[in-house]
Chain A
Amino acid sequence: MKDLLILGAGTAGTMIANKLRKKLAKDQWRITIVDRDDRHHYQPGYLFLPFGTYTEKQVVRSRHTFLPDGVDFVIAEVDKIEPEANKVALTDGRELGYDYLVIASGTSPRPDQTPGMSDGTEWRKSIFDFYTLEGAKALAEALNKFDHGRFVVHVTEMPIKCPVAPLEFLFLAEAWLRERGIRDRVELTYVTPLPGAFTKPAASQHLGSIIDERKIHLETDFMIESIDNEKKALVSFDEREVPFDLLVTIPLNMGAEFVARSKMGDDLNYVPVDKHTMQSKKYANVFAVGDAGDLPASKAGSVAHFAVDIFTDNFMELIEGRPMTEQFDGHANCFIESGDKKGLLIDFNYDTEPLPGKFPFPKVGPMDLLKETRANHLGKLAFRHIYWNVLLPGRPMGIPTHMSMAGKVPLTTTTENQE
């Protein structure tokens, strides 16, 4: 009997368990998945909680209902991996051996890493995050009371998971202020460590123009040193200050602490992996799939989804002693809410910038790429159902794993550098 051990029952881990349980013979392979609790969060839903669009019930389900029969679900905290011995120690003293290990423990916001963020007096009073359920709920209450002043949306450092979410939050907040009739009493600022609105130059230009149109002040190249709780201001290493009455921050993101304890991570606890196969650069029987690895791709559910497809096909080849033939291309596909019940859609990979055009069918769409439409907004809302009912159970979704150029309009002029 061989053992496949998966650490993390989130998006990537759950999909892998579902797909591989169908492919691996039950009398030859045991599959075990470990997580610290039985609550699976639909993280993209956090974005809508502060505005009252979604409720907690719509974004949290039980993890085990998404795991198939024949997968052992262990609820425990991982202490560390011992890769030389092919085993994982849990904090309750138990040990789990493996033939193959998948690290799918994701990435988490770490407000404790910036002085004055969660250790100051203003945390969850005037300083909020929305990448956690508690944070999003607390922010919903704060927004209800907010009626004027300096409203700052801030990104601490890249990479963060769902890198478009801060902009979506910004656009939704701007539209929400207009709906409430208080937009002109609020000074809205977006503070980013990047040189422009977004990471990818073509999309950055497009999203930057939306920021301009909506009269949002943009503060770029801002690397935060600390938050001054008394002055209520962000302070950068080059001594700029951005004062706020209400701050919504995206804290530094880091991989799981057990990765650091196992000495298997980089400076941010991400596991170094081959960017085309997600195989550990150090251990051939270890993979890191989803946000847990150091792929130079967006940390996002769509990336995890496409990467899982590649991984599971490769895994079947690997265990039969054949070379892994599938190559992940860094494909990402993200809806971007822009407020007023509209949204954009971007589709890109390691080598190709987000381009305008139609998706997924050339000329027909129905989605427009890099353009604000109502169809894209509806697509985003529909995705919650797809996530629970199609994606997590590992059912085919009808979107190609590799990025396609079909329906896209290549940029005729070279994209102007954003810096």
Chain B
Amino acid sequence: MPTTTINGHEIHVDDEGFMTEYDEWTEDLGKVLASQIGIDMTDEHWQVIRFLREDFREQGETATVRRVQTAGGVPPKRLFQLFPQKPAKKMSYVAGLPKPHGCV
């Protein structure tokens, strides 16, 4: 498994740069990951990211756009504004979680 260094921290990532170790993530790292894909984090962004982190801990899977709506209360339209074009991919990248599956 490759590693990369962000802000002096060595972290484990997959081929696409998604973090693979849940516990290596911090909100500071999340902020850096967001800026790498051109996202400036606001409270609303954090609300989504914190939901994803919490939900992953309980479910063992990354929430889909649908689940962020039904369980997290954020409508897809808003998600597309917060994380443009590819919200599922971008929000899981920032949250240090694997891409949601369902795409099989």
Contact = CB atoms under 8 A, between A and B. Distances in A.
Whether A and B are associated in the same complex: the answer reads yes
Interface of A: 157-159, 163, 194-195, 199-200, 221, 223, 225, 237-238, 267-268, 296-298, 417, 419
Contacts of B15: 417
Contact of B104 (A225, A237, A298): A298
Contacts of A163: 104
Contacts of B71: 267
B104 A297 contact: yes
Given A225-B77, A267-B64, A199 B104 contact: yes
B73 interface: no
Interface residues of B, number: 20
A200 B92 CA distance: 20
B103 A237 contact: no
A195 to B, nearest CB: 7
A125 B68 CA distance: 34
B65 A223 contact: yes
B12 interface: no
Interface stretch (B34-42, B43-51, B83-91): B83-91
Nearest to B89: A419
A368 to B, nearest CB: 23
B22 interface: no
B69 to A, nearest CB: 9
27 contacts: A157-B66, A158-B102, A158-B103, A159-B103, A163-B104, A194-B103, A195-B86, A199-B103, A199-B104, A200-B104, A221-B86, A225-B77, A237-B76, A237-B79, A238-B80, A238-B84, A238-B85, A267-B64, A267-B67, A267-B70, A267-B71, A296-B101, A296-B102, A296-B104, A297-B104, A417-B15, A417-B16
Contacts of A296: 101-102, 104
Interface residues of A: mostly helix, strand, loop or mixed?
Answer: loop
Nearest to B77: A237
Q: Which 10 A-B pairs have the closest CB atoms?
A: A237-B80, A238-B80, A237-B76, A296-B101, A158-B103, A199-B103, A237-B77, A267-B67, A267-B70, A296-B104
A158 B84 contact: no
A71 B34 CA distance: 57
Nearest to B16: A417
B85 A267 contact: no
A223 B104 contact: no
Given A267-B64, A267-B66, A417-B16, A225 B103 contact: no
Contacts of B80: 223, 237-238
Contacts of B76: 223, 225, 237
Contacts of A298: 104
A368 B60 CA distance: 38
A297 B104 CA distance: 6
Nearest to B76: A237
Contacts of B67: 267
A47 B41 CA distance: 46
A223 B77 CA distance: 10
Interface in B5-64: 15-16, 64
Nearest to A348: B104
Nearest to A252: B66
Contacts of A158: 102-104
Nearest to A281: B60
B41 to A, nearest CB: 20
B99 to A, nearest CB: 10
Contacts of A194: 103
Nearest to B67: A267
Contacts of A268: 66
Nearest to B78: A237
A159 B85 contact: no
Contacts of A159: 102-104
Contacts of A238: 80, 84-85
Given A225-B76, A238-B85, 8 more contacts: A157-B66, A158-B103, A159-B102, A223-B80, A238-B80, A238-B84, A296-B102, A419-B89
